[in-house]
Amino acid sequence: MRKSVGIFLAIFFVLQFNHVRSTSSEQPYRTAFHFQPPQNWMNDPNGPMYYNGVYHLFYQYNPYGPLFANQMYWAHSVSHDLINWTPLDLAIAPTESFDINSCWSGSATILHGNKPVMLYTGIDSENRQVQNLAVPGNLSDPYLREWVKYPGNPIINLPDGIQNDDFRDPTTAWLEDDGKWRILVGSQKNKMGIAFIYQSEDFVNWTKYDSPLHQVADTGIWECPDFFPVSVDSTKGVDTSVINGVVKHVLKVGLFDYARDYYMIGNYSPVKENYVPQNELNLGTLRLDYGKYYASKSFFDPVKNRRILLAWVNESDSEADDIAKGWSGLQSFPRSVWLDRNQKQLVQWPIEEIETLHENKVSLHDKKLESGSIQEVLGVTAYQVDVKISFRISNLEEAEELDLSLSDPQLICSGNNASNKGKFGPFGLLALASSDLTEQTAVFFRVYKNNGRYVVLMCSDQGRSSTRNGLDKTTYGAFVDIDPQQDEISLRTLIDHSIVESFGGGGKTCITARVYPAMAIGEEARLYAFNNGTQSVVISELSAWSMKKAQINVQETISCTDQ
């Protein structure tokens, strides 16, 4: 009897694509450990999943240039560790009447029998947004290199009363006790943001439920929705189909009009098919990230029982700059996500695999920073670093008063940059700084009093991030839900050439920025801890690691034989 067995004879890495400039001096803003394709435009992450020993990332891609196109494709990369990524051929292309004008975002679901399927939005020949199904062409291929579109597409047509371009981005499906799958599709009607819910017994024939799962007036189109359970008593993730008394459900929506991802935490009833959030959606409520972070998508990782989150991080320079660079767009570093123990918000943290890139650790303990002082962090590659710092403060009764009812945190940060002295703050980090501090991206905190309690504000100030003109240098800000009387004020920042990704309060508040220094590039970049408040602070602990370059867009060659 003849037995066919695929044997790996050799796995090795080869040189990066020839058309990618190789040196940091030629491409100073390309990242070392954040995912990006070798060239051209990239936006939303699509269908991330784990299948047969391999992590998969699909994403919106224009194979013909560095700007968004009228015809979008799904590109595809795979990884064994969510750090190093191998590019594969394009997975889904606009070739049929139901997607001829673009293959837009969607999600992966693992069906019974360990069979992955993909739902995605197609822009059809009449420019209507419809929902389509694709399945792997070869389930024995762990890389899932071939995808076959269902010949009966579209499986979900545009609902009555919805405009052609207001119906998109199906979620990962979940299975209920009644044997029916559910998905959400984002939409709007008269500026009412809507999450339509659909049910199916066979994953092909779908019926829209009478009422949306949720809707909110005056929020515009809801796109890239995500709906998943989170444990109320554990930091571990749970599969999308888990529904019991020890989970709450997160409904995340991207508000297209604002390019921001907002989320709600609440209770979902599959019997009533309704969702009751404990925090209603408005422009002042919970966001996954208060900087550049959009179209996020999560998936359940069964290997380590965690929920992992990715998002598109777009550019802050011009289209002309993108054309000159030959590329546009990054993916955020993968984050583990769970429900905070107070059950009021999510916590996000870089996945533990980041430690495989750590080298040359430096540390600092119990360093007092007087008013106006600055401490350089030496011994690390300041343009490619993972840094954690914790601050301890005392004499909090001296803090300034802040009226929260009149306070927009981003406006406070914008009006009080890193050089504006308060009592407690600003104190934090100066990332991608030039030696003379002409260029700097400041990530910092301020502490205020409000009605007998203390308020911690976190800011990311891009105002002095570059001497270049024509850049978006917005300053971002948000409050951090910690009590500085009980907890030290902590900050973790991932710095990677043109992205500064920061996690305040152990991941309770996240702010991502894109910056393009002209001077603080490569070995010229510096990293500092600073305190510009009138009161002293103490660095209780600082740890920083230089980051090795991940193997991204590096071809993996695999030879197989049959015997």
Asked if 333 and 354 count as a contact pair (C-beta separation under 8 A), the reply is yes
- b/e per residue 512-523 (b: at least 16 CB within 10 A): bbbbbbebbbee
Distances 13 to 17, 191, 301, 357 between C-alpha atoms, Å: 12, 50, 26, 17
Strand, helix or coil for residue 464: coil
End-to-end CA distance of the chain: 11
The residue among 236, 242, 289, 288 whose CA lies nearest residue 265 is: 288
For the record, the structure tokens of 400 come out as 């300034």
The residue type of 68 is: F
Which residues lie below 8 Å from residue 453, measured CB to CB, with a gap of 6+?
483
The residue among 220, 124, 109, 229 whose CA lies nearest residue 170 is: 109
**Residue 261 annotated as catalytic:** no
d(CA 273, CA 271): 5
What share of residues in the chain are helix, strand, coil (percent, to 5)? 5, 45, 50
Q: How many residues does the chain have?
A: 563
Asked if 182 and 199 count as a contact pair (C-beta separation under 8 A), the reply is yes
Residue 259, CB-side half-sphere exposure with 13 Å CA sphere:
9
- b/e per residue 130-160 (b: at least 16 CB within 10 A): bbbbbbbeeeeeebbeebebbeebbbbebee
Which of 44, 124, 322, 386 is catalytic? The answer is 44
Cα-atom radius of gyration of the chain, to the nearest Å? Answer: 24
Burial of residue 113 (number of CB atoms within 10 Å: 0-12, 13-18, 19+): exposed
Q: Which residues are catalytic?
A: 44
